[in-house]
Amino acid sequence: MAAQRESLPPGTLLGPYRLLKTIAKGGFSLIYLADDEDTGEEVVIKEYMPKRIAQRDRDGRVMPLEPRFGENLYQGRKLFFQEAAALATLKHPSIVRVLDFFLANDTGYLVMPNERGRNLGAYIQERRGGLSTTFILDVFVPILDALSLLHRRSMVHLDVKPGNIHLRHGNRPILLDLGAVHRFARGGARGGQVITAGYSPLEQYQRHGRIGPWTDVYAVGASIRACMDGRTPPPTPERQKEDTLVPAAVDLKTRYPMALCELVDWSMSMEIDQRPQDAGELRAALGQRLAEGSGLSPARSAPAPESEGLGRPDSGGPPGGR
């Protein structure tokens, strides 16, 4: 019987890439560190391997866990490859670069550089929140700019969270886990995609929820809130039943500028129409507050994180996807 979710062994050659080790596992993918034998550079490779519907046969091929999952696996692989092709066209300093993508072993692979730095989610845990306003702006202004590019291209990320933000030297951020990206049409895409409790708005939990750029906006607000108080915000289904989340403008007004607190609360509105409608709108509002001198630049930034490799799973993942 084929072993479920078995990683490819070290030494496996995928084109010019020789696998060194498995570094993470997510709900939809396995993540490897590899050497590019053509360039000598280390890369991160994400293999499409959905946990609930796929397994590997003795020859290394990815196959359905049961025959009834065959169509789901085929469609998922098709979307993975299509979105990889689209993402490869995105050029932004805060979006992880797609070096290569290809089909092999009856599945898809996404190749990205292995950049040194540290994960924002881990950094928040170590610092227990309380990150400075300067640090927050250093990280999230570029992230909003990157999301604005996605939104202008009719794409939504759908899994923005601290675990999917990689910090390079000088707190320069890269947005990871782009394999979750979906295209949307006017009026929004359908819900029911990937969910991360605390960062996913209510529409992501709903099979027919209205997904759009506003969905990423909620996640940005929740990520900034986590930087402030060091806790993952309550999941939105809990907030819908009984909202115990005290607004930042009340709970954090003595520690952060009111303007920033208000922007976080606006972004985390439960109702879609009460949020900024895309990252560009939130970025513009933030820029306006900065231009008005609303006190969004306190004296000191958080110290630069120590270096680590880039690899993270799609639930805190390396660049790439589900």
Query: Span 65-69, mean pLDDT?
Result: 93
Residue 127 lies in a domain: yes
* 141 and 199 share one domain: yes
pLDDT confidence of 4, banded at 50, 70, 90?
A: low
Same domain, 109 and 52: yes
Closest CA to 197 of 229, 222, 164: 222
**68 and 207 assigned to the same domain:** no
- The domain in which residue 177 lies consists of 118-291
Residues 131 and 65 in one domain: no
Of the candidate ranges 18-32, 113-127, 156-170, 285-299, the one whose mean pLDDT is the lowest:
285-299
CATH number at residue 92: 3.30.200.20
Domain final residue, candidates 113, 143, 172: 113
* Sign of the CA dihedral running 277, 173, 165, 131: negative
pLDDT on residue 185: 61
Predicted confidence (pLDDT) at residue 46 exceeds the cutoff of 80: yes
Alpha-carbon Rg of the chain, whole angstroms? Answer: 20
Domain-terminating residue out of 113, 135, 154? 113
Q: Is residue 138 part of a domain?
A: yes
> Is 317 contained in some domain?
no
Is residue 315 a part of any domain in this protein?
no
pLDDT at 25 over 60: yes
Statement to judge: residues 40 and 188 lie in one domain: no
Of 83, 113, 143, the one marking the end of a domain is 113
Give percent above pLDDT 90 in the chain: 67
Please state, in angstroms and rounded to a whole number, the distance separating the CA atoms of residues 241 and 90.
39
More confident residue, 250 or 97: 250
Token pair, residue 235, equals: 């999941």
Residue 321, amino acid: G
In this prediction, residue 217 carries a pLDDT of 98
Query: pLDDT tens across 275-315, in order?
Result: 999 999 999 999 888 777 655 644 333 444 444 555 544 43
Same domain, yes or no, for 206 and 95?
Answer: no
Q: What is the CATH number of the domain that holds 127?
A: 1.10.510.10
Residues 108 and 131 in one domain: no
How far apart (Å, rounded) are the C-alpha atoms in residues 10 and 12?
6
Instruction: Please indicate, yes or no, if residue 132 is contained in any of the structural domains.
Output: yes
For the whole model, what pTM was predicted? 0.81
> Do residue 158 and residue 185 come from a single domain?
yes
| pLDDT > 70? residue 8 | yes
Q: Is 170 left (phi over 0), alpha (psi -120 to 50) or beta?
A: left
Same domain, 23 and 87: yes
Tell me: do 175 and 55 sit in the same domain: no
Number of domain units in the chain: 2
| 128 and 265 both lie in a single domain | yes
User: Residues with Cβ < 8 Å from 170, sequence gap 6 or more?
Assistant: 138, 304
Tell me: do 131 and 213 sit in the same domain: yes
Asked if the structure places residue 139 within a domain, the reply is: yes
In a domain, 238, yes or no: yes
In a domain, 316, yes or no: no
